[in-house]
């Protein structure tokens, strides 16, 4: 994973887990407490760094390797390693247990439909419905909690885009692995040590809209860039997609609303909600269940506002039926009674809805 030898040297205590493809995250809570995530479950491992000073030196060297600083003046690091893995570090006195580092490893294995079905993360009919929504150029948002699989599902959604389309891909850190021939990738840039040179998601969306996109794919919506994505969706750039942190499909719309307000524009809530309801067509909600499995638990459609409030209708969902003695969760994927508003459109295009 770490190509630079000095990084391997400083991170020697966790080297086996950096090289273990079954480990998805490594969480270091000071020099004496290290956890890993494997198959969706956290476990404490019996390793330790020599000292707090050694751990802090490792974090400082990670920062240096990507042209950043991690010191008393800049006590937080957000970085992407050469292999695509993401690192966030915080040093004392902001954290009282010592230097804290989280490494989210970059998965070399592309998530495919077959792998998703084999893992029980969704059903074949759910995949067909999602593929139809993508091919009909519906604007889609993948929602879910941290580490619920949003980025992996967004990658899957993007795989259904025609190879004839021009895709502009915008991310904070390159994670998506689009395989179409006409992909134009962009990555944000952090400010330098003097606070200059930052290029944000908003900046890149503005550029992307002037570069003739057939599709806009945004890695994640976190702030004011939400308003720019909504504007794009509402001005003819259909088929756009992104992810957002949210606890439910309905909550995803409220999160988009909150993020849009960060833009500073004086937009009446009623007008903003109308824009969101008009822009977003579908919501794919992901979840990591208590047994560590990740699933698509709902595919929903956004309906027009009613009385100024958002409305969504579930088209397909996961229903838990039992919690086994070993902690395993059993359940079924089921079709809901709702009829998609795009049913006729799908039939004319000869695309399946289940």
Whole-number percent of the chain with pLDDT over 90: 64
75-96 exposure pattern, b = at least 16 Cβ within 10 A, e = fewer: bebebbbeebbbbebbbeeeee
Write the pLDDT tens digit of every residue in 57-116: 999 988 888 778 899 988 998 887 777 788 899 999 999 999 999 998 877 667 788 888
| Burial category of 46 from C-beta neighbours within 10 Å (exposed 0-12, middle 13-18, buried 19 and up) | exposed
pLDDT tens across 211-264, in order? 999 999 999 999 999 999 998 998 888 999 999 999 999 999 999 999 999 988
Q: What is the pLDDT of residue 351?
A: 94
In this structure, what token pair is assigned to residue 233? 């969706």
Q: How far apart are CA 48 and CA 247, in angstroms?
A: 35
Give CA–CA dist 198/203, Å, rounded.
9
Q: Say which CATH topology domain 113-348 has.
A: Rossmann fold (3.40.50)
pLDDT of residue 9: 65
Q: What is the pLDDT of residue 150?
A: 92
- Average pLDDT over the chain reads 89
Longest Cα separation, the chain? 66
Q: What is the mean pLDDT of residues 262-272?
A: 89
Mean pLDDT in residue range 307-320:
95
Question: Which residue in this structure is represented by tokens 């390693």?
Answer: 81
Tokens representing 275 are 């824009």
Q: List pLDDT tens digits, range 16-38.
A: 888 888 898 999 999 999 999 98
Concatenated DSSP letters of 168-236? EEEESS-------SSEEEEE-B---TTS---B-HHHHHHHHTTS--SEEEES---STHHHHHHHHHTTT
For the cut 80, the answer to whether the pLDDT of residue 297 exceeds it is: yes
Q: Distance between CA atoms of 233 and 165, rounded to whole angstroms?
A: 16
Residue 318: what pLDDT? 95
Residue in 170, 244, 234, 173 with CA at minimum distance from that of residue 202: 170
Binned at pLDDT 50, 70 and 90, residue 336 comes out as very high
pLDDT of residue 296: 96
- Say how far apart CA 95 and CA 90 lie, in whole Å: 7
Scanning the chain, the segments in alpha helix (DSSP H) are 5-10, 15-18, 52-65, 113-118, 124-135, 150-158, 201-208, 225-233, 249-261, 269-279, 343-348
pLDDT, residue 204, reads: 92
Q: How confident is the model at residue 1 (pLDDT cuts 50, 70, 90)?
A: very low
Instruction: State the burial class of residue 251 (Cβ atoms within 10 Å of its Cβ: 0-12, 13-18, 19+).
Output: middle
CATH code, residues 5-104? 3.30.450.90
Span 161-181, pLDDT tens digits: 999 999 999 988 777 888 889
Q: What is the pLDDT of residue 282?
A: 97
Contact between residue 349 and residue 342 where contact means Cβ atoms under 8 Å apart: no
Q: Is 316 within 8 Å of 299 (Cβ atoms)?
A: yes
**Domain edges within the chain:** 5-104, 113-348
pLDDT of residue 326: 84
pLDDT at 11: 83
Mean local confidence (pLDDT), 323-334 = 90
With 90 as the cut, is the pLDDT of residue 147 above it? Answer: no
């Amino acid at each position: 994973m770490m190509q630079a030898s000095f990084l391997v040297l400083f991170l020697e205590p966790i080297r086996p887990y950096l090289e273990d493809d079954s480990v998805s995250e490594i969480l270091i809570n000071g020099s004496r407490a290290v956890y890993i995530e494997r198959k969706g479950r956290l476990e404490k491992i019996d390793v330790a760094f020599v000292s707090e000073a050694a751990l802090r030196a490792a974090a400082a060297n990670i920062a240096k390797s990507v042209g950043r600083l991690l010191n008393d003046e800049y006590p937080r690091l957000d970085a992407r390693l050469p292999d695509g893995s993401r690192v966030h570090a915080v040093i004392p006195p902001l954290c009282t247990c010592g230097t804290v580092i989280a490494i989210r490893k970059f998965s070399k294995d592309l998530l495919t439909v077959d792998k998703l079905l084999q893992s029980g993360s969704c059903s074949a009919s759910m995949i067909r419905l999602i593929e139809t929504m993508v091919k009909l150029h519906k604007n889609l948002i993948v929602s879910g909690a941290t580490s619920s699989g949003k980025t992996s599902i967004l990658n899957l959604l993007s795989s259904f885009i025609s190879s004839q389309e021009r895709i502009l891909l915008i991310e904070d850190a390159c994670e998506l692995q689009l395989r179409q021939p006409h992909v134009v990738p962009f990555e944000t840039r952090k400010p330098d040590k003097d606070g200059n040179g930052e290029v944000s998601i908003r900046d890149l969306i503005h550029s992307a809209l002037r570069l003739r996109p057939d599709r806009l794919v945004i890695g994640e919506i976190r702030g004011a860039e939400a308003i720019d994505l909504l504007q794009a969706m509402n001005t003819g750039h259909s088929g756009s997609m992104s992810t957002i942190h949210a606890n439910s499909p309905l909550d995803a719309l409220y999160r988009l609303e909150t993020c849009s307000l960060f833009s500073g524009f004086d937009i009446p809530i009623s007008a903003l909600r109308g824009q969101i309801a008009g822009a977003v067509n579908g919501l794919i909600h992901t979840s990591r269940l208590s047994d560590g499995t990740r699933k698509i638990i709902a595919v929903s459609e956004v309906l027009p506002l009613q009385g100024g409030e958002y409305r969504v209708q579930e088209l397909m969902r996961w229903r838990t039926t039992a919690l086994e003695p070993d902690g395993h969760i059993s359940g079924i994927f089921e079709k809901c009674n709702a009829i998609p508003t795009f049913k006729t459109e799908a039939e004319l295009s000869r695309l399946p809805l289940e």
